[in-house]
């Protein structure tokens, strides 16, 4: 069952990558818009119409802006999807079903995991909207991420496929990379989930609009780059600058010796540097990709590769055959 799902996924993902990266190759055979929703919009399936209602609810939540809830929605999409480990399955354990909405369905379990600190608010907001509109939690999480990215200037338009069944079990703990993990650990984890190291670097464009909350709780909402309201290349460039100081109390405060923080450059506004970002930007396996994105001239390339990697991530553990393309609903 799993291997069938994986092979189907692999085939479909090749097509998705072509789509998202603007290749001239033909997109996967999907019907042209042929259904008119109550709001007059043309979509590919009547299963897409409800997403206009969800979009309206989400924009109320996000206040149509690139703010804290939007940042959290993007983070949540990664934490839900990366909960997928074929390796654990070979050990006779449940490895998670990836982008299955387990972060919401089994919120009381997964929100207790250390890696998921700070996600409770967005989890329960998305649960409320999904329940109200009768959509699956797995779909909800990936759609909210696509909307959140579009609310940020410079953010690309992501694809969105609907039809994920709800999760049947909580993902096991320990599958979400943490900022204090070394590069070997992080790359092994994302490879196990089916993502390439280069895709991880592209996904980290999310830190261009991200803030830290719990690594150093004394300086909540400190951004990872100087332009947290803009989806741009500043994050990659600024991580390459020499680190000078800690913007808050630093990792030697109390018991925070494994905080995952390293010194950041002196900037206005102050920025926060994650140890994992620093290490990935200087590792032979990922530094080349990192440097490509560190110039404003590569904005379009960066956003295209981010969109392609997000399309792959959003389908981890899912069988694309069961999904319908509702990308047209993404603003
Ligand atoms: Ca999950
Ligand atoms: Ca930015």
- pTM over 0.75? The answer is yes
Residues marked as catalytic: 79
- What is the whole-number distance in angstroms between the Cα of residue 25 and the centre of ligand 1? 31
Residues, CB within 5 angstroms of ligand 1 (ion): 80, 83, 100, 102, 171
- What is the whole-number distance in angstroms between the Cα of residue 35 and the centre of ligand 2? 38
Classified as helix, coil or strand, 279 is: helix
- What is the whole-number distance in angstroms between the Cα of residue 208 and the centre of ligand 2? 4
Mean pLDDT of 84-89: 98
Identify which of 156, 247, 249 has the alpha carbon closest to the alpha carbon of residue 205.
Answer: 156
- What is the whole-number distance in angstroms between the Cα of residue 141 and the centre of ligand 1? 10
Strands 324-325 and 42-43: unpaired
Mean pLDDT of 268-274: 96
Ligand nearest to C-alpha 316 = 1
Ligand nearest to C-alpha 78 = 1
Q: Counting Cβ atoms within 10 Å, is residue 226 exposed (0-12), middle (13-18) or buried (19+)?
A: middle
pLDDT at residue 222 tops 70 = yes
Strands 35-36 and 42-43: antiparallel
For CA atoms 114, 79, 273, 61, the dihedral sign is: negative
Q: pLDDT tens for residues 54-80? A: 999 999 999 999 999 999 999 999 999
Q: pLDDT tens for residues 6-64? A: 333 333 333 333 333 333 333 455 557 789 999 999 999 999 999 999 999 999 999 99
- What is the whole-number distance in angstroms between the Cα of residue 91 and the centre of ligand 1? 19
């Amino acid at each position: 069952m799993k291997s069938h799902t994986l092979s189907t996924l692999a085939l479909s993902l090749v097509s998705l990558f072509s789509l998202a990266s603007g290749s001239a190759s033909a997109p996967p055979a999907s019907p042209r818009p042929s259904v008119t929703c109550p709001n007059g919009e043309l979509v590919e399936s009547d299963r897409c119409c409800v997403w206009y209602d969800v979009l309206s609810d989400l924009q109320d939540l996000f206040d149509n802006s690139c703010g804290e809830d939007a940042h959290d929605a993007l983070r949540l999409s990664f934490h839900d999807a990366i909960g997928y480990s074929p390796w654990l399955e070979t050990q006779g354990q449940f490895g998670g079903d990836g982008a299955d909405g387990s972060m919401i369905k089994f919120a009381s379990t997964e929100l207790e995991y250390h890696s998921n600190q700070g996600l409770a608010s967005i989890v329960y907001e998305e649960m409320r909207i999904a329940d109200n509109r009768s959509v699956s939690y797995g779909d909800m999480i990936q759609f909210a991420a696509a909307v959140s990215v579009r609310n940020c200037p410079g953010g690309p338009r992501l694809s969105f496929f609907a039809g994920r069944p709800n999760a049947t079990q909580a993902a096991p703990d320990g599958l979400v990379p943490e900022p204090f993990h070394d590069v070997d650990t992080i790359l092994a984890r994302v490879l196990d989930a089916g993502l390439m190291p280069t895709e991880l670097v592209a996904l980290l464009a999310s830190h261009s609009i991200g803030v830290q909350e719990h690594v150093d709780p004394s300086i909540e909402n400190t951004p990872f780059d100087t332009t947290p309201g803009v989806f741009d290349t500043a994050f990659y460039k600024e991580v390459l600058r020499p680190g000078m100081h800690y913007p808050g109390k630093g990792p030697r405060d109390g018991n925070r010796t494994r905080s995952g923080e390293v010194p950041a450059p002196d900037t206005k506004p102050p920025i926060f540097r994650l140890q994992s970002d620093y290490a990935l930007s200087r590792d032979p396996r990922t530094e080349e990709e990192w440097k490509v994105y560190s110039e404003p001239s590569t904005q379009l390339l960066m956003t295209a590769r981010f969109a392609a990697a997000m399309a792959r991530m959003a389908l981890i553990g899912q069988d694309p055959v069961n999904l319908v393309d509702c990308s047209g609903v993404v603003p």
